[in-house]
Structure 1
């Protein structure tokens, strides 16, 4: 079975949480002595997790690109967009919705910082 867009998003969020835990642990250990080996291991694991997250995000982007052809949304009428949307399956609509929601959430968080 292949993973759905939502499955991949769940995995990405879990990996990001684990990556945050690793980062917090590294900061704790850096304040102590004689933990260089554990810090190195956690740092290497963090790099691997980040690469895995990037690969999964790229997979999502590629999957989304297959579903949504390139076109200029600003030049399309709302009725045309609705018509295009009706050609998508429920799963494809959910993928698109999740993608848009995630994108908006990321932009909003960037604006707040």
Structure 2
């Protein structure tokens, strides 16, 4: 939630994007948080409030100038591709005997013509 100071009052601003990267190691959580705000925000000061599930003495907050570029694969796409390939394989395997029966008459007819 972002509050923007505008001379005589604080207004609530809407966020259009929120990104987070969390790394948990040795009992400590490092979290990078970034938000995107609308372009029509006017004001001199802003406050961004977010909950931190820890004692205030255990929290260290730094302001970074950028957010790292993270790359990876979309798990839905990977799953759908794997299931789709497996499904085609199973469908082909289960209909293999039918394919042989359909192809056999044409093979015999072709051989009979050569006699």
Q: Which has the higher helix share?
A: 1
* Relative contact order higher in (CA < 8 Å, ≥ 6 apart): 1
| TM-score, structure 2 normalization | 0.24
| TM-score, structure 1 normalization | 0.25
Higher gyration radius (CA):
2
